[in-house]
Amino acid sequence: MEFVHTPVLLKETLDLLSPVGESYEDNCFMIDATTGEGGHSEAFLNHYSGLHILGLDADQKIQMRAKERLAPFADRMNFHLGWFNDFFANYSEKDRQPDLILFDLGISVFHYECSGRGFSFRHDEPLDMRLDVSAGPSAADIINTLREEELANIIFNYGDERYSRRIAHAIVERRTHSKLVTTKELADIIYNAVPGPYRHGRIHPATKSFQAIRIAVNGELDRLELVLKDAFRVLKPGGKLGVITFHSLEDRIVKNYFRDLGKKCICPPEQAICTCGGKPRAKVLTRKPIGPTEDEIHFNPPSRSAKLRGVLKLGDKI
């Protein structure tokens, strides 16, 4: 099988999340919370001979590809199908605490090129964009039902699209005649809605809107805010948590949470006396995010916006 997605910041992630302690070679447990086609998991299993991984993914189709890729590692690799925030929220205290947890929040090239679900306007496909096709509204549902103001807010807030209101108005105008059902229909509406000079910029004028709609369809930012606390809760003291982001809003959420974990006091500013014990819960391993090298950007352009942050858990307190 040919794998179409190249994992980003691979060496940097292997270095940052190197297992801690003398016994890791024999008994180290990692949760790859966004397995995708299995590129990061494969590298970790090859690099650390005693490592066992549980790989999570919400997309059954891409998980099947990862299972084929990682089959040579036999019982060192196991899988769970479902959203990472649901998994960590229901993780029992009786379950084994992971030594390492990795989140790679990027959408796989597989989804853009091979899924047929309308993640990209490069192919004329049904407007779906769901990672889990068994649940939730599709992109077509959102495009054809939300009020104009709601659409504009999604496109502006999640896509940083300056012409969000013009685009939302054009979508609503169009759907009064017929529903939008394909990526080409949506991309053409966006193209015609924006000013002439904007149509010929560095990126296609539909790029930001498609990103915004995908984020809304999959609840990506909401899931991230929910999962970070639960993932840190189940992490073993002395273990490491790493997150790769591709969007400024994602990175802000991770940066702020990790910063709070590293504080000596996390009491509310208005509280006069510290009651939290005055101890940091984690050591921040990346004061600044780790980005790709120029060589990686050259050979793997989607890595351009990737940022890696990590923390090491200092104790049990959450």
Q: What is the pLDDT of residues 87-109, one digit of tens each?
A: 999 998 778 999 999 999 988 88
97 plus 242 within the same structural domain: yes
121 plus 195 within the same structural domain: yes
Q: What is the pLDDT of residues 224-236, one digit of tens each?
A: 999 999 999 999 9
Please answer whether residues 212 and 154 qualify as being in contact, where contact means their C-beta atoms are separated by less than 8 angstroms. yes
Q: In this prediction, what percent of the chain has a pLDDT beyond 90?
A: 75
**Residue 318 located in a structural domain:** no
pTM here? 0.90
Per-residue pLDDT band for 318 (boundaries 50, 70, 90) equals very low
Per-residue pLDDT band for 252 (boundaries 50, 70, 90) equals very high
57 plus 97 within the same structural domain: yes
80 plus 200 within the same structural domain: no
The CATH number that applies at residue 213 is 1.10.150.170
User: Is the per-residue pLDDT at 161 higher than 90?
Assistant: yes
Q: What is the pLDDT of residues 49-64, one digit of tens each?
A: 899 999 999 999 999 9
pLDDT at position 57 is 96
User: Is the per-residue pLDDT at 219 higher than 90?
Assistant: yes
**Residue 1 located in a structural domain:** no
Instruction: Tell which of 218, 244, 265 closes a domain.
Output: 218
16 plus 137 within the same structural domain: no
120 plus 213 within the same structural domain: yes
169 plus 102 within the same structural domain: no
The CATH number that applies at residue 79 is 3.40.50.150
57 plus 181 within the same structural domain: no
The domain containing residue 227 runs over which residues?
Answer: 10-111+220-313
**Residue 187 located in a structural domain:** yes
- Answer left, alpha or beta for residue 56, where phi above 0 means left and psi between -120 and 50 means alpha: beta
pLDDT at position 313 is 96
pLDDT at position 267 is 72
**Count of domains observed in the chain:** 2
**Residue 5 located in a structural domain:** no
3-state secondary structure the chain: CCCCCCCCCHHHHHHHCCCCCCCHHHHEEEEECCCCCCHHHHHHHHHCCCEEEEEEECCHHHHHHHHHHHHHHHHHEEEEECCHHHHHHCCCCCCCCCCEEEEECCCCHHHHHCCCCCCCCCCCCECCCCCCCCCCCCHHHHHHHCCHHHHHHHHHHHHCCCCHHHHHHHHHHHHCCCCCCEHHHHHHHHHHHCCHHHHHCCCCCCHHHHHHHHHHHHCHHHHHHHHHHHHHHHCCCCCEEEEEECCHHHHHHHHHHHHHHCCCCCCCCCCCCCCCCCCCCEEECCCCCECCCHHHHHHCHHHHHCEEEEEEECCCCC
Instruction: Tell which of 156, 190, 218 closes a domain.
Output: 218
227 plus 98 within the same structural domain: yes
156 plus 305 within the same structural domain: no
**Residue 287 located in a structural domain:** yes
The region of weakest confidence among 43-47, 68-72, 263-267, 293-297 is: 263-267
Instruction: Tell which of 218, 252, 281 closes a domain.
Output: 218
162 plus 234 within the same structural domain: no
164 plus 123 within the same structural domain: yes
How confident is the model over 280-301, as a mean pLDDT?
Answer: 93
Q: What is the pLDDT of residues 202-214, one digit of tens each?
A: 889 999 999 999 9
Q: What is the pLDDT of residues 7-55, one digit of tens each?
A: 899 999 999 999 866 545 568 999 999 999 999 999 999 999 899 999 9
